[in-house]
Amino acid sequence: MNITVFALGGTIGSIVDESGVIRLGQDAAGLFDPSLDIKLVSPFTYSSEDADIYTYQRALRAIYSECSKNKPEGAVILHGTDTMAYFAQVACRVLSSLDIPIAITGSLLPPMVPGSDCQANIREAIRYISSGQHGVVVTGKGIDGALPAYKLIQADHTGRYGIYHDAKMPRVSTDFLTRTVLPSVYILPDTPGAISQIPRETDRILIRAYHSGTCPSALADILSSGVKAYMAPVKATEILYESRYKMEQAGVKLLYDMPFEGAWAEVMVNE
């Protein structure tokens, strides 16, 4: 199978220096079985915690261009785990049109550290795309197999990923790759009192709903100025709390059938 591997950095592309500091610098070519038909491409590398939407755009533009031009039978993307869920949510909205199996994977420990999950994740990623499957591949932590990218939610502090079971495959759009200006979005967390921190000059707000699908009622006053606002995760329901009723009346767009990480990607890619 003709596979292209895209090395974007992260822990899986790191070394531990003599001071015990994890730094970018691993030669990704050494991570793969030399008998495999693999082309390694590293358009640039970054620490995932430093990424923003323009970082993802640049990376996905390079991946899309390479796959469109050279048409591999499958692709593996090596990425940092800190923001892998957000990257995966953007990636599935852009790369699905390539119609090839794609696996996104990383590791919690650098390859050179004893007990690293690096090789296990790479083996699983190769196995999954070889069988025509795709998704986010992580081993251990009670997880078996590839997780659908559009269902992925961010890992907890132990590195354990989960999925949003009610998620549906989103609309795919490659227009994202060619835009020169991407949305500037203020994230309103589900934290008591956070509403007081919203900048008055913001033009978009993404509300992280409480588990009941609610958010602060006072937000309706801010939205009356014409600010675009979105909220997730939310479920359809026949009865509404007053705060959610006010949000709907104020014009908040409820992003159904996706986790918060997917909603962030949706606002950036498709809205």
Q: What are the tens digits of pLDDT across the range 216-263? A: 888 877 776 677 899 999 988 889 999 888 888 888 999 999 999 999
The pLDDT score that the predictor gives to residue 29 is: 84
Residue 84 has pLDDT above 90, yes or no: yes
What's the mean per-residue pLDDT of the chain?
91
The pLDDT score that the predictor gives to residue 224 is: 66
* CATH code of the domain made up of 183-269: 3.40.50
The rounded distance, in Å, linking the Cα atoms of 82 and 13 is 13
Average pLDDT over residues 16-31: 88
The rounded distance, in Å, linking the Cα atoms of 160 and 27 is 26
> Can you give the residue ranges of every domain in the chain?
3-167, 183-269
The rounded distance, in Å, linking the Cα atoms of 65 and 95 is 10
The rounded distance, in Å, linking the Cα atoms of 46 and 29 is 17
State the Cα torsion 215-220-226-230 to the nearest 10°: 20
Tokens of 98: 């390539």
More confident residue, 218 or 167: 167
Residue type, 230: Y
Which residues partner with 50 through β-bridges? none
The rounded distance, in Å, linking the Cα atoms of 107 and 122 is 9
CATH 3.40.50.1170 is held by the domain 3-167 = yes
Average pLDDT over residues 74-98: 96
Residue type, 73: E
Structure letter (DSSP) for residue 238: S
The rounded distance, in Å, linking the Cα atoms of 191 and 142 is 29
Residue 41 has pLDDT above 70, yes or no: yes
State the Cα torsion 209-210-216-222 to the nearest 10°: -10
Average pLDDT over residues 17-41: 90
**Strand pairing report for 74-78 and 3-7:** parallel
The pLDDT score that the predictor gives to residue 237 is: 87
Fold equal for 3-167 and 183-269: yes
Residue 142 has pLDDT above 70, yes or no: no
The rounded distance, in Å, linking the Cα atoms of 115 and 55 is 30
The pLDDT score that the predictor gives to residue 25 is: 86
CA 246, 170, 104, 180 torsion: positive or negative? negative
Average pLDDT over residues 193-200: 82
Confidence of residue 152 (pLDDT cuts 50, 70, 90): very high
The rounded distance, in Å, linking the Cα atoms of 166 and 151 is 8
Average pLDDT over residues 152-156: 92
The pLDDT score that the predictor gives to residue 12 is: 95
The rounded distance, in Å, linking the Cα atoms of 186 and 229 is 9
Closest C-alpha among 256, 270, 268 to residue 86: 268
The pLDDT score that the predictor gives to residue 145 is: 67
The rounded distance, in Å, linking the Cα atoms of 125 and 127 is 5
Residue 134 has pLDDT above 90, yes or no: no
Which of these ranges, 32-36, 179-183, 196-200, 243-247, has the smallest mean pLDDT? 196-200
The pLDDT score that the predictor gives to residue 38 is: 94
